[in-house]
A and B are shown apart, each in its own frame.
Chain A
Amino acid sequence: MNYRTRELRVTYFSYIRARLVVVLTVALFIALLGRVAYLQTYGREATISRADRQQHLILTLAARRGDIYDRNGLLMAGSIQTHSLFVDPKFMQDSFQEDGRSLIQMDQALDGLAALIGKDSFELSKLLGDRATSRFVKVAENLDDSTVAQVEALNLPGVGIGSGSARCYPMGSLAAHVLGDCGSDGNGLDGLELKYNALLSGRPGFARETKDAQRRPIGVAAEDYLPPQHGHHLVLTIDANLQTIAEQELRDAVEHVKAKSGMFVAMDPFTGDILALANYPTFNPQTLSDSTSDMRRNSALVSPYEPGSTFKPFLAGPAMMWHVTTQSEVWQIPGRTWFTPYGRAISDVEHYGNLCTWDGLVHSSNILMSQLSERMGNARLYKAMTGFGFGQRTGIDFPGESPGKVFDLKKWTHKSTESVAQGYELMVTPLQLARAFSAYANGGKLVTPRLLLGTVDPQGNILSRRQRVDFDSLPQAIDPATAAEVRRILCDVVIRGTAEGERSKIWNVSGKTGTAYLAEPHGYSKSRYNSSFVACAPYENPKLVVVCVIHDPDRTIAHYGGKVAAPAAVKFFERALTYMEVPASPDLPLPPPEVANVLIDYSAKQYTDRNFGAMKDDDSAMEITSSQ
């Protein structure tokens, strides 16, 4: 290295200072790397939820609500797809502003939309204006396909079509009270739709969709998708055909006597299956707004009433079982009116002379039943009532079932004995009556009524089926022999008793009428009644138990249970048993000789000749009724 080179290689460069700069830079880089690591781990917690909200959209995948079928597999309630219209007002505004269009132009565009969906354009603008920063406003529901196509043709930014479902009842108002109804959110509000709501609705699924800034979907990760579990289908014990017959007969009966309302229950006495359950007036669950809540109430289950004479068999039966009396015992009936030992007047409709127990039931003698009740005593009366399940819920699978009312024995007054004997001072539902009468029909067993036969999963597999009723383990309300005796006695009701003339020529009907005064705020009404009929048929092997209650008939037309409710029930039997292909009944067995001897106006021809006292022409029957 020569001198010149050495001298020229004077360094104007400070390595120390340069190193300082470099070290500082490296340190800052490492610090930034630390910052990155912090943002990706601990710092993430503060921001990840915001990122998640921004980048994802959680879609609820609606579960299809299960259908409801009748016992033959006919669809009674189903769900159909509908469309709803929603608007993203913020997106709409932004789009219009980006395109350089004014808000007035947006309002004009909204006018077109409003016209399509049948809304007031001012209201629509106001709705969207009030929620201008919102990202989702539901504007219309239940749109049909053509409207949807027209809306899509408008090609408005921020307008979307969502799909929903609406409940539909293809049978209209049929069995409306059993099915109940659904709200606009698709949840059951009433009836079985409410009772089995959880089963019917299933479980909605969801998809967590990743979307880009224009809210276009990018994809769904496998772990972000949960498919919906569709609801289960219900199969009911209701038979749509029997239900139709029941509703027709009930409507005819109610309208014929210009009554306020009516209730009708038909059940299988051996299984407790409710085959038909009708209330009148009825409603259409599809158009809820047309009906009042009174019309929607399933009175047959939830509105108890005083049964009147239909209650008498449930006292007479136990009395015979406990040997308090026999069917042939003759009771002293002094006249139309009889005074109890404490002086209360008990009246009959007609004075037939002294009656045996058999005739007392057939002619529904209040005097006889009062004397019998006094002999039984309150404790046994109470035991008889509760033994038939009165005062307790039947256990049917229906929401809001009423237990009726049976007063506690301690609350009974001295008048209660006679009142109960005539079917007052207690409240029963038609369903309870049907269940109790089933005991007479099936040999004394107290069945549990039911509406649900089974469930079917969305794929069509039968999931559950109600177990066959273990008949022997059911509570015994009355012994089989007495049950058969009472059933035989009640066959006379339609032949020579309170429903004389309402007999069926094909089947033997065993029933009991009732005509109960309506309770009013100050004692019982003198002119308003509940006319009812409880019956089973055919007598030999009962297939159906029916309770028909007509509330407040116009007494100028008819009001006795035998003339108002019984015809409806018997007509129902004739049509229903025909539909069920039940063979015609053989002739009724004659009463045992010791009974036949004490029956009034007894003639064996009554039982062998089916035209004897058979259903007469309606008009003449009514004439006789009104003349009585």
Chain B
Amino acid sequence: MEVSIYRLRTRDALTLCVLSLLMLGVVMVQSASAGAAERTDWQWSANAIKDAVFAAAGIVAFLVVGHFNYAWLGRAAAKVRQTPVVWIMAITVLANLLVLVPHIGVSVNGARRWLRMGPMQIQPSELAKWAVVLYLAFLLARRPLNLDRFFTGFLPLLIPVAVLCLLVVIQDFGTAVLIALAALAMLVAGKVRLRHLIIVIPPVLAAGLWFVMHKEYRWKRITAFANPYAAPQREGYHMIQSLLSFATGGWTGRGLGNGIQKLGYLPEDTTDFIFAVICEELGIFGAMLTIALYLGVLYCAWQTVKMKADNFGRLLAFGVGTMVTLQALINIAVATVSVPTKGLSLPLVSAGGSGLIITCAALGLLRSVSRFKNAGDEVVEEAKPLRIAPKPPARRPVHRLTERMLGAFTTS
């Protein structure tokens, strides 16, 4: 490849986007956690310092992971116990099981979501997000079973994902939804049969609905979404305060640091609702900037996908990009009261902990793919002992029709 100083490489663009989002996060967390009533002079808030440290760690994780070849993760060794993805999946399932055990899982605000790991606390559900991405990328690229078969191929390989989703949904419904959506996106892109998906989706939806309805507080959140003003001090409070943030800022915004809603009115102002703070202070410009940076991440992921790396790399890049942007999408939808409230943070921007570093590391994988894109051949060669489906399935007319319908969007 011709290297030119005038050309912004994809991985550099990605680095810029990640860095910008992290910095935006630090600035906004500082702004949101500054209390104007106590002190009016400049001071770093404890939250912002913590976030800055995590952001720095995140950048390091991003660069370090990006430095190594992702191919190792996609390795399909002859023995199952030598396959990293299997181990990652196993550890994640175990962690998600452990967190549900009282006295081991740490409960915050009534939800048992945390595992103490020395000085740090980690959310196993965060691990689950990326484990699913890795697992599906591995699965769809390596195809240890014939995925064209529903009962002997598709369904058994999906069982680990389903188990993980079930474990996560107990802790955090929002993350489970996110995992399910990202998994759906990867399955769609990974050339599974659409009718298999059509068979699977309704039961999953039904299960999700049952899950929402059988716990009263979840159902109340849904009804509060229909009319937040019915219970303005309870279920509707988050939504109303978020709406008021947009109203207070107007389209010009009140200026960085001048937000009022963050002064105790808007709950979770450094985490789940930081987008409302951004919009209140920076106006429509802040919203555009934030969304543009996520679209930048998505663009980098798409460019990486188009680099024609190996199957695993492509699916990994697509999965990571989808996961990050979908999470941002859901978070912004919640902040703008477009969907019912879920506890999802704005990736890279919200004041984070271990989740921020994990996200950065995952984006590091994306960087790695864009960097070692040609490493695929070697890896595939190593994978030869596994039964790889040698030929793509024959195309059917219905697929061609779909392709033609979508041709308008495509150039390749």
**A and B assemble together:** yes
- Taking Cβ atoms with an 8 Å cutoff, the residues of A that contact B are 5, 7-23, 25-26, 28-29, 32-33, 35-37, 39-41, 43-44, 47-48, 50-51, 54-55, 210, 212-214, 216-219
What are 21 A-B pairs with beta-carbon distances under 8 A? A10-B311, A10-B389, A11-B311, A13-B190, A13-B191, A15-B306, A15-B412, A16-B406, A16-B409, A19-B410, A20-B409, A22-B298, A25-B329, A37-B284, A44-B246, A47-B240, A51-B247, A212-B264, A213-B263, A217-B37, A218-B36
A-contacting residues, B369-384, CB 8 Å: 376-377, 380-381
- Distance in angstroms from B251 CB to nearest chain A CB is 4
Contact: A32 with B336, CB < 8 Å? yes
Taken together as a complex, chains A and B put the C-alpha atoms of A35 and B288 apart, in Å, by: 12
Residue of B nearest to A212 (CB): B263
- Taking CB atoms, residues of chain A closer than 8 Å to B250 are 40-41, 44
Distance in Å: Cβ of A52 to nearest Cβ of chain B: 8
User: Across the interface, which residues of B come within 8 angstroms of A50, CB to CB?
Assistant: 240, 244, 247
* Chain B, residue nearest A24 (CB): B185
Per CB-CB distance, the 4 closest pairs between chain A and chain B, nearest first, are A213-B264, A212-B263, A39-B246, A18-B189
Set of chain A residues within 8 Å of B376, measured between Cβ atoms: 9
Q: A13–B251 contact, CB under 8 A?
A: no
Q: Give the docked Cα–Cα distance between A216 and B141 (Å).
A: 59
Cβ of B391 within 8 Å of any chain A Cβ, yes or no, is yes
Contact of A40 among B246, B263, B318, B338 (CB under 8 A): B246
Interchain CA distance A43-B376 in the complex, whole Å = 51
In the complex, are the beta carbons of A47 and B143 less than 8 A apart? no
Please, how many angstroms separate the alpha-carbon atoms of A398 and B1 in the complex?
101
Residues of A within 8 A of B243 (CB): 39, 43, 47
Write the nearest CB–CB distance from B129 to chain A, whole angstroms.
16
Bound-state Cα–Cα, A28 to B381, Å: 40
User: Could you give, for residues 294-327 of chain B, a 1 whenever the CB lies within 8 Å of some chain A CB and a 0 otherwise?
Assistant: 1100100010011010110011001000100110
Tell me the complex Cα distance, A499–B189, Å: 123
State whether A17 and B284 are in contact (beta carbons under 8 Å apart), knowing that A29-B329, A32-B336 are contacts in the complex: no
- Is B248 a contact of A13 with CB atoms below 8 Å? no
**241-267 of chain B: CB within 8 A of chain A:** 243-244, 246-251, 260-261, 263-265
Q: A214 vs B283: C-alpha distance in the bound complex, in angstroms?
A: 25
In the complex, chain A residues whose CB is within 8 Å of the CB of B185: 21
Q: With A12-B140, A47-B244, A218-B36 as given contacts, are A25 and B284 in contact (CB-CB < 8 Å)?
A: no
Cβ distance A177 to chain B, nearest Cβ, rounded Å: 52
Q: Of A13, A16, A25, A212, which one neighbours B298 at CB under 8 angstroms? A: A25
Most chain A C-beta atoms within 10 Å of own C-beta, residue among B191, B336, B403: B336
Chain B residues near A23 (CB-CB < 8 A): 409
B287 part of interface (Cβ distance < 8 Å):
yes
B residues in contact with A41, CB < 8 Å: 250-251
CB–CB B336/A39 < 8 A: yes
Contacts A18-B305, A22-B302, A214-B37; A36 near B189 (Cβ below 8 A): no
Contact A33 B189 (CB under 8 A): no
Give the residue of B288, B322, B329 whose beta carbon is less than 8 angstroms from that of A28: B329
Q: B263 near A218 (CB under 8 angstroms)?
A: yes
- The 8 A CB mask of B11-54 against A (1 = contact, 0 = none) is 00000000000000000000000011100000000000000000
* B188 interface contact, C-beta 8 A: yes
Check if A55 sits within 8 Å of B260, measured CB to CB.
Answer: yes
Distance A9 CA – B265 CA, assembled complex (angstroms) = 56
B4 at the A/B interface (Cβ < 8 Å)? no
Q: How far is the CB of A538 from chain B (nearest CB, A)?
A: 72
* Interface contact A40-B279, CB-CB below 8 Å: yes
Query: Which residues of B have CB within 8 Å of A7?
Result: 390
> In whole angstroms, how far apart are the Cα atoms of A28 and B336 in the complex?
13
| Minimum CB distance partner of A13 in chain B | B314
Interface-centre pick from B247, B288, B310, B311 (highest chain A CB count, 10 A): B247
Q: Verify if B98 is at the interface (C-beta below 8 Å from A).
A: no
